[in-house]
Amino acid sequence: MGHVETVITRVVLRKEVLFYHQVLENSLDHLLQALYALNHMYFPRRKRIEEYINEIWIPVKKK
């Protein structure tokens, strides 16, 4: 077993609250960063959506 595994095992056995708090904080930080990246890519702000819509050229047939 490596040093990191030994430290984690010791922390879990001692039920150290600060360790769990740090792990939760880091996990939430990574999750929020991923959501921000996805939001920026897949759900652009309204102004950018309007620019995309204005770039679309659809010919209108006259009667």
- The pLDDT of 1-27, averaged and rounded, is 81
Distances (CA, A) of 58 to 7, 27, 52, 63: 63, 46, 13, 16
What is the per-residue pLDDT across 26-37, written as a single tens digit (0 to 9) for each?
Answer: 899 999 888 888
What is the per-residue pLDDT across 36-52, written as a single tens digit (0 to 9) for each?
Answer: 888 776 776 777 777 77
What percent of the chain stands above pLDDT 70? Answer: 86
pLDDT for 30: 92
pTM of this structure: 0.48
DSSP codes of every residue in 25-49: HHHHHHHHHHHHHHHHHHS--HHHH
